[in-house]
Structure 1
Amino acid sequence: MSVWCKYSVIACVSLSTALLITGCVEKKASQCQRLIQVVDAGDSLIDQKKGQQVITSFQLSRDLEAITTSLEELNLTDPNLKELQSQFSKVFENLSQAIAKASKALGAAKTAEASSSGREKLQNARTEIDTALTAAKTAAKQSDALINQLNKYCSQP
């Protein structure tokens, strides 16, 4: 009888361990999926609206703010995914700010008059646009690196 009890205990522990591992894997997979969906939504917004008019750029900035908020509200429990979530949130926040800054500079450039003060306004706008583009390029590179990390982590069993 004691051998039978040992096998019963081993079977119960094995089954519990298997269910625990399976539950964790599904949890990680579902958390990965939720994070990927929000990041993809942000990337799609950028792809659809890049190079558009001032008003559209300003709206894109607002939309990216909403993506940042969505990222922050995911309530992920996996520590690696939480770190990626935080980093993606910063990237989308930086992109939003850079696009808003460029949009304001474009708006200022459009209203510049043909005068010395207008030329100064144009030069200031150009400097701000260049700064914003540099910030956006940096954020885009960070995003690409984070996407690679996310895909690598989420593809692991």
Structure 2
Amino acid sequence: MSVLRKYTVLAPVSLSIALLVASCSDNKVSQCQRLIRVVNAGTSLIDKSKGTQVITSIQLSKDLDFVTKSIAELKLKDPKLKEFQSGFVKIFQNLSQAIAKAGKALGATKTAQASESGREKIQKARAEIDSALTTATTLGKQSDTLVNQMNKYCSEPE
């Protein structure tokens, strides 16, 4: 079993187990911990996959879709944490789409022919990759802001 395939299986399974175990308690602290754990899992996937190939980018996009669903499925009762949850769902959803777009564009460059139409294909792909990177950078900043707000809120006494 390849390392990539192992992570593809391990990440969703371990994330699911962590969510199941953590869902027993419902106070603010435990809800914060559950949300933070899933967000960190998504961030960790991104950090592991920076600067990798097309197949890895497409798999990362799929893994981020799973993280998005995991965040959305958290049963949080705290209204403020629900706001953070919603924000992270949007961020990871958009990030997944941007990474998928960049991965597909990168794939298109690998199949381009050495011709005028091939050069046009590469230029179009490059613009799509640049756009995806800009989007990812913006989403990263939004995520950092949301993480800071959530950490501040979660460190306040109940």
Which interval holds the TM-score relative to the shorter structure? 0.7 to 0.9
Q: Kindly tell me the number of residue pairs found equivalent between the two proteins.
A: 132
Measured on the aligned residues, the alpha-carbon RMSD in Å equals: 0.7
Q: Distance in 2 between matches of 1:111 and 1:144?
A: 36
Counterpart CA distance in 2 for 1:134 and 1:39 is 21
**Residue 61 of structure 1 corresponds to which residue in structure 2?**
61
* Rg (Cα) greater in structure: 1
- For residue 97 of structure 1, what is the aligned residue in structure 2? 97
In structure 2, the residue matched to 1:133 is 133
Structure 1: tracts of 5 or more residues without a match: 1-25
TM-score where L is the length of structure 2? 0.83
> Which one-letter code corresponds to 1:81 in the other structure?
L
Counterpart of 1:46, as a letter, is I
Runs of 4+ in 1 over 6 A off after TM superposition: none
Q: Give, in whole Å, the separation in 2 of the partners of 1:27 and 1:119.
A: 57
Match of 1:28 in 2: 28
Aligned match of 2:83: 83
Q: Show structure 2 runs of 5+ residues with no match.
A: 1-25
- Structure 1 residue aligned with 2:142: 142
Q: Which amino acid aligns with 1:79?
A: P
Deviation at 1:50, TM superposition (A): 1.1
> How far did 1:42 drift?
0.3
Provide the TM-score with structure 1 as the length reference. 0.83
SS at match of 2:27: helix
Deviations 1:99-157 (A, max 9, x none): 00000000000100100000000000001001111111111000000000010000000
Identity score, percent? 69
